[in-house]
Copies of this chain bind each other. A is one copy, B any other.
Amino acid sequence: MALIVQKYGGTSVGSVERIQAVAEKVRADHENGHRMVITVSAMSGETNRLIGLARQLNDAPALREMDVLVSTGEQVTIALLCMALQKLGMRSRSYTGGQVAIETDSAHGKARIKRIDEHRLQADLNEGVIVVVAGFQGVDEHSNITTLGRGGSDTTAVALAAALKADECQIYTDVDGVYTTDPRVVAEARRLNVITFEEMIEMASQGSKVLQIRAVEFAGKYGVPLRVKSSFVDGPGTLITLEDDEQMEKPVVSGIAFNRDEAKLTIRGIPDQPGVAAQVLGSISDANIEIDVIVQNVAKDNSASITFTVNRNDLPQAEALLRSIAAELGAEEVTADSKIAKVAIVGVGMRSHAGVAARMFECLAEEGINIQLITTSEIKIAVVIDERYLELAVRALHAKYDLERLR
């Protein structure tokens, strides 16, 4: 008998019929002897409806009141799911974030969970009650309602699983698992049975939007086994875990991540001396613009150049800032390019394998794709290329590492 926390997102509970389907699924697991804790999001569309009402009244509503407003979305779903479960003869009880209590800091709209009082839930579980908890929400120490921000329901599920020492935290979504890469780009992409937290974080931050990275980090920190499953089709999904124990020989590369949300900026001909990089990049960060890849080179004339990427939406502001710094520093030139894409190979197996990078570059060279930037971590090698070649690069790398044969 396992203790399982399940999370169902907005599309999974988007209608009365979908809620009934969730209830059937929960009943099946409960009848298999598992103790069940369910976290749900607002019905799809509901949060946007509420935000729409707010915007009509106030273009900059207080975040405290926005949280009071949007937290009703999940509260509606917990009550409806309990009713559906009770209709099937199950005992079930709903809890808002405040009732659990899920205590957060006071950062309305993006609160972080501080602690969870699991006693009441535990008492219900011991009585065979199916517990249904509103995702995405909590209360601060003064009982003010808070919300956790984007992907908050995933985080709620993981936090509950950690507090209750659950055997598994299952995130139900509209895909049936984590894939070697986006199947819309590579038809041969395969669902992974297992992936490590580290790999998942690299895959997520590189643009695989199955799970919120925050929830994955949280699960990794507390060692909560996380499983991504589909609400719509049956299947084992993908287990995200600390170590991939199932396979003796870990694959070198587990997946290909990519994104085309970034733009590239270069400043050339700046003095090669301490403090210059800080001056250039500091001014960008100070404007709250997130920088992703950073590369610095020194040219033959001993002048330096710095290239970095930012989100494409931030390009105009970043470019303006960079030009004003360039003037201060007497830099040679500033160039901007929004037509780039980033492709990365990810895998914990890389750690123990030499030559992975060389093989990647060779593969791209074979396809005639020029590499503009390279950045690496222990379990990832990412390159920036012309966005026209993105799909070609992903397909070629997927084939190169035999990912269509990965299990």
Contact = CB atoms under 8 A, between A and B. Distances in A.
**A contact patch SS:** helix
Contact of A16 (B56, B84, B145): B56
B54 A79 contact: yes
Given A86-B62, A98-B98, A79 B75 contact: no
Given A68-B94, A86-B58, A53 B75 contact: no
A83 B96 contact: no
A172 to B, nearest CB: 19
B98 A83 contact: no
A79 B65 contact: yes
Contacts of A69: 75-76, 79-80, 83
Contact of A72 (B72, B93, B98, B144): B72
A359 interface: no
A69 B81 CA distance: 11
B94 A57 contact: no
Contacts of A86: 58, 61-62, 65
Contacts of A392: none
Interface in A36-78: 50, 53-54, 56-58, 61-62, 64-66, 68-69, 71-72, 75-76, 78
A83 B65 contact: yes
A19 interface: yes
A76 to B, nearest CB: 5
Nearest to A19: B57
B83 A62 contact: yes
A223 B352 CA distance: 81
Interface in A20-37: 20
A197 to B, nearest CB: 34
Copies in the complex: 2
Contacts of A19: 57
A82 interface: yes
Interface in A86-132: 86-87, 93-94, 96, 98-99
A143 interface: yes
A164 to B, nearest CB: 19
B57 A80 contact: yes
Contacts of A144: 99
Contacts of A64: 93-94
B62 A80 contact: no
- A-B interface, 5 closest residue pairs, ranked by CB to CB distance from nearest: A69-B79, A72-B72, A58-B83, A68-B79, A61-B83
26 contacts: A16-B56, A19-B57, A20-B57, A50-B76, A53-B76, A53-B80, A57-B80, A57-B83, A57-B87, A58-B84, A58-B87, A64-B93, A64-B94, A68-B75, A68-B82, A68-B94, A68-B96, A69-B75, A69-B83, A72-B75, A72-B76, A75-B75, A98-B98, A98-B143, A99-B144, A99-B145
Interface of A: 16, 19-20, 50, 53-54, 56-58, 61-62, 64-66, 68-69, 71-72, 75-76, 78-80, 82-84, 86-87, 93-94, 96, 98-99, 143-145
Given A62-B82, A65-B94, 15 more contacts: A19-B57, A53-B76, A54-B79, A54-B83, A57-B80, A61-B83, A65-B82, A65-B86, A68-B79, A68-B94, A69-B75, A69-B80, A69-B83, A71-B75, A99-B143
